[in-house]
Chain A
Amino acid sequence: MSTKSPRLTLCLFSALLLGVNSVPAPLSGASKTGTTTLSITLPDCIILHYYSTLNLTFEEYSQAVDEGGSGTWNVQWSGAAEGGNQLSASTIQNVLPGTVTMTIPNVWAVRGLSPSGNAKVTLTVVNSQLVSGSSKITILSGSGQTQIDDNAGHSGTSINTSLNGIAASNATIGNVRMTLDFSQTNMAGAHSGGQYKITAETI
């Protein structure tokens, strides 16, 4: 046995050498599967669409107002008249309102991406006076007077509304409700200078 052992040793190492140095063949068809988790971060972004100029044209108005009843006057031959009904500021009918509240539709829009998917949109009146000489129209400020709404049930001077992503087709489009006071208006024609500001921010 001892005489065969060296041969066996030789046999083992020869085999090892043969195995290591043999030309390898590609593995026959096999398959592997695995999974990888991919992640990517999208940035905050918000786009506010607005109109830089609003031109509101009020309809021309003229009306004859019958204050009713009949006027009975005592007239002297000297031409003096007394008695009867007289018109006064407190008695004439108020056919034109002193203030007009209107909703201007679809004058702003927001879209974009935010952590919550929403944006905070705020309206502030920067300059409340529209003027033409001594004639003034005043934009009344505050909730209920001048505010925004998003056509989705949110209204006020500051609202949280959906951004709905970056596609223009999904943008949130909103209105501006504005109240104008004509109590200091005494001229027809263009009045200008009023300004409101809309601010939108991601939340």
Chain B
Amino acid sequence: MKYCFCPPLPAFPGHSQKRPECRMKLLCGKPFTALSLFLFFILPSLPACAASFTVTSSKTLTAAALSELGLSSSGTAYSEGSYNTDVTWQGDVDGQASSLDQVITGSTVVRNSILLWYYSYNSSYESRPTFNASYRIFGTGGVENTLSSLTASSSTIGATLTAQPVTCSKYSGNTYRCYGYANLNLNIADARRSGTYRGTVQISIVYY
């Protein structure tokens, strides 16, 4: 997805006032020829879009690793030790509640510096803008701050996006780019399924 806008074409300061005939005579004779040359040859050679926003349409993050959950393998058998109980000859057992050790040490997955958008501009046309970017993330059904399983929307991951400061750097020639990054914090404690989870990030940028 690419959003693009063009700055105003260069104005001709002063000339229309000092020499009104420049405008009046444009459509005839050699001035017309010159204008035609400008329109057909020079103008097209100018950048069609001197500044543009590019929003990343989709981003597949690095899959969560077992190690991020504190696991070394996909299957873990954990012994809770000994279970001691009395039994009657009728088969009655003095039950005891099972208190499970928390084998998994973490339920948080973090993905930092996710590039959501960038702004390209020609430093010959404009100076570096200032940006205020904000992000909101929604799962299936518009539930904010979640990602939803593709196979079962009721299985969700808690998601929090944190905007990072916009950074700008020279891209090539006079072209500079300003990058909008965010950090994503995922809480998978409520997830029920493995597989792919998806969410939509709404990006709002104010620049001046």
Contact = CB atoms under 8 A, between A and B. Distances in A.
B96 interface: yes
Interface in A163-203: 163-168, 171, 173, 200-202
B170 interface: no
Contacts of B155: 117
B44 interface: no
Interface size class for chain A?
35 or more
Contacts of B19: 7, 11
B196 interface: yes
A9 B30 contact: yes
A76 interface: no
A57 B98 contact: no
A168 B102 contact: yes
Given A47-B103, A53-B81, A37 B194 contact: no
A40 B186 contact: yes
A41 B194 CA distance: 7
Nearest to B190: A165
A42 interface: yes
Contact of B74 (A15, A43, A165, A171): A43
A143 interface: no
Interface in A1-28: 1-2, 4-9, 11-12, 14-16, 18-20, 22, 24-28
A14 B38 CA distance: 12
Contact of B197 (A39, A56, A109): A39
Given A8-B25, A51-B81, A55-B82, A16 B199 contact: no
Contacts of A7: 19, 22
A158 B66 CA distance: 27
Contacts of B101: 49, 168
B63 A40 contact: yes
Contact of A165 (B71, B96, B130, B189): B189
A126 interface: no
Interface in B142-187: 147, 151-152, 155, 157, 159, 184, 186
B192 A18 contact: no
28 contacts: A4-B31, A6-B30, A8-B30, A20-B10, A26-B128, A31-B204, A36-B55, A36-B59, A36-B117, A38-B137, A39-B147, A40-B157, A40-B196, A40-B197, A41-B63, A41-B196, A44-B194, A50-B79, A55-B83, A56-B93, A57-B84, A57-B85, A113-B188, A113-B193, A166-B107, A166-B191, A167-B190, A202-B74
Interface in B22-75: 22, 25-26, 28-31, 33-35, 38, 42, 51, 53, 55-66, 69, 71, 74-75
Contacts of A31: 204-207
A200 B147 CA distance: 27
